[in-house]
Amino acid sequence: MSYPSFQQKKLPYFNDIQPSQIEPQIQSLLTKNRQKLAEVLSQTGPYTWDNLMLPLEDMHDELNNKWAPLSHLHSVLETEELREVYNKVLPLLTQYNTELSQNEKLFQAISTLANSSEFAQLNAAQQKIIQNDIRDFKLAGIHLSADKKARLAMLQQKISQLATKFSENLLDATQAFTLQITDPNEVKNLPPQALELAIENAKRRGLEGYVLTLDYPSYSTALRFLDNRALRKQLYEAYTTRASELGPNAGQWDNTVVMEEILQIRHEMAQLVEFDNYADYSLATKMAKTAEEVLTFLNELVIKSKPIAEQEYQDIINFAKKLDGLDPIYAWDLPYYSEKLREQEFDFSPEALRPYFPIDTVLGGMFTLVNKLYGIHIQEQPNIEVWHKDVRFFAIYDEHNALRAGFYIDLYARPHKRDGAWMDECRSRRRMNGEIEYPVAFLTCNFMPPLGDQPALLTHDEVVTLFHEFGHCLHHMLTQIDYPTVGGINGVPWDAVEFPSQFMEYYCWEKESLDFIAAHYQTGAHLPDELYQKMIDAKHFQTGLQMLRQLEFALFDFRLHLEYNPEQIHPVATLLQTVREAVSVIPVPEFNRFANSFSHIFGGGYAAGYYSYKWAEVLSADAYAQFEENGIFDRVTGQAFLSNILEVGGSRDPMVSFVAFRGRKPTIDALLRHSGIN
């Protein structure tokens, strides 16, 4: 079957990116954009979409196309030189964006268009862009006096620098710690792939024996399988004190002051634009409209899940005491004894699944799945330039073999790469001179790499993570909206953006889909029915504790921004302790500095929005229930999801999109059922 190739000229040339050239290139583009904006605003005739909004869309997209690959490299292949230039350029971009958001002439021009007779003739996406812009001008303080605007501009500069500093501190602190082990008996119970990784880590550093790191695949596996309690504590303490005043690198990359400055600035920014607090300011662009609505939602889930979590925690305590006479049990013991308890209760360990999830089989199965749902085809293109030998590029085609999108996939943990998993945009869909510029995504994870002749083998949790991030990619790539600012994930309220990603996760649990997602890497055998049943039986193991952990994070984040008082000393630690006392059932060591590595809210976009994961999970569970009713691969239902959710992007209210798909507003019932909480 013949497929058109993605053209390299439409994509970044990563090998040509020279850090020394980045700053002058960005400066030149910003100067060009400022000149273009001045020309646009100097027009004498009435403002129209074509002479006002379209040039703005073009300017935004051209700048994004230049900045996206540079920002991405800063996250996945950082060098000292790249970090230095990134920190030089970031203030230039912040200043430029602040200028736009405070440009009164531009605001008046867009407002004039919004109130003109032409507005009614525009399509829904065009109208949404204009409405969003007017809203954002007001949120950016367009009505403020000159001195307050100047203050706001300074604060925006400062907070972008602080968020970057937070992330850099966390990366440096994570990479600074290693635990060398020379006695083979200490690591004898590590799963084979984790053991190979520890050996490889040691060799890479010129050391004997085994090296464990704070990269999550190494750390989390070690905590579940190391028999030596002292080693588990050493790892746990190093991990939970990263970027703090405590731990093995105490004070070296301390985020404490950074966090407090970020909170103070957010609070002042919100008050400058006449909100009581940053939480209320954040809700101005979300599905949820009031703080009370968010807190009620989260607290109702706490009430439903806490009794279950309390029993689950007591079960671990009883088990550890019975097995090893352990009393009391500490935080660094919980993963270890939870793993053993699961093995005893279900005769099952998630590691037993790993041989059935070689990476190429998982990817091929995931691509087969979306073909069944949406009729799209995905083909690898080996001739596209990438930034690392492990990175791959794929193109997406519709059922008529027409090109739709492309994506880079970067799956393995390595030095100088930010921890975690995420999707980001490389290119957005747009139409220029009658031709479509196709959307392109970055999909990034941090799995254990292939070792020797053995392929990368994923845990089931990692398969779920991959499907989650690919759901974000599909949302970005399958859009049919030709305007970047409301196409794909752009313009989607933050508490709805996790909807398509969480929807994809449900397919990781279905035997029907696992039959083409999973195959033993040596024999090609399907996942045995007996092993699958054990996995399903164990699905809700400690579901209450897992739910409560996410709710603790969400309540901490939201209340931190809702209740912030600039006169309070150490607001982060004080509020975190308050939330833990109300929500958590597991005692946390005094030295734990979780907040110092909470990059979602201090280094990313989830401030006063971490609740979005649970909020969107209501949407995703209820949407998936429609597939359960009609057939999980039903093409009619898949087409309805594609056209009503994925293709419309941010061009309309997500509740309107959900109702168009489901026929009604969402209910919480499916979420509770899938979580094992009734």
Measure the CA–CA gap between 539 and 26, rounded to whole angstroms: 49
Q: What pairs with residue 451 in β-bridges?
A: 454
CB 398 within 8 A of CB 448: no
Q: What is the pLDDT of residue 45?
A: 83
Residue 434: predicted pLDDT:
85
Q: How many CA atoms lie within 13 A of 255 on its CB side?
A: 34
Tens-place pLDDT, residues 73-85: 999 999 999 999 9
Q: Which residue in 78, 196, 260, 469 is the catalytic one?
A: 469
Rounded CA gap, 115 and 361, in Å? 54
Q: How far apart are CA 380 and CA 383, in angstroms?
A: 9
- Whether the per-residue pLDDT at 1 is higher than 90: the answer is no
Q: What pLDDT digit, counting tens, does each position of 133-187 carry?
A: 999 999 999 999 999 999 999 999 999 999 999 999 999 999 999 999 999 999 9
- The correct answer on CATH 3.40.1280.10 for the domain covering 355-537 is no
Secondary structure string (H, E, C) spanning 532-553: HHHHHHCCCCCHHHHHHHHHHH
In sequence order, the 6+-apart residues with CB closer than 8 A to the CB of 275 are: 281, 284
- Give the pair of three-digit tokens for residue 264: 């103070």
Looking at the DSSP bridge assignments, the partners of residue 410 are 444
Domain 8-101+103-139 and domain 355-537, same fold? Reply is: no
- Residue 443 contacts residue 423 (beta carbons within 8 Å): yes
**What are the E-state strand segments in 383-530?**
392-397, 403-412, 422-427, 430-432, 435-437, 440-447
In whole angstroms, give the CA distance from residue 594 to residue 553: 10
pLDDT digits (tens, 9 = 90+) for 541-577: 999 999 999 999 999 999 999 999 999 989 999 999 9
pLDDT, tens digit, 9 for 90 and up, residues 445-481: 999 999 889 999 999 999 999 999 999 999 999 999 9
Q: Which CATH architecture has domain 8-101+103-139?
A: Up-down Bundle (1.20)
91-112 average pLDDT score: 97
Tell me, what's the pLDDT at 293? 98
What's residue 677's pLDDT? Answer: 85
Here the tokens at position 350 are 């998630």
Portion of the chain with pLDDT greater than 70, in percent: 100
Name residues whose C-beta falls within 8 Å of residue 544's C-beta, 6 or more positions apart in sequence. 305, 306, 307, 308, 309, 310, 311, 312, 677
pLDDT, tens only, 11-56: 999 999 999 999 999 999 999 999 999 999 999 889 999 999 999 9
Spell out the domain ranges in the chain: 8-101+103-139, 177-240, 256-346+542-607, 355-537
Q: Which of the listed CATH numbers 3.40.50.620, 1.10.1370.10, 3.40.50.1010, 2.40.50.140 matches domain 256-346+542-607?
A: 1.10.1370.10
pLDDT at 678: 72
Among residues 259, 234, 233, the alpha carbon closest in space to that of 245 is found at 259
Cα 47 to Cα 50: distance, rounded to the nearest angstrom: 8
* C-alpha span between 570 and 85 (Å, rounded): 32
Residue spans of beta strands (DSSP E) within 48-143: none
Query: How many whole angstroms from its chain centre is CA 358?
Result: 23
> Has 469 been annotated as catalytic?
yes
User: What angle do the packed helices 54-76 and 80-101 form, to 10 degrees?
Assistant: 150
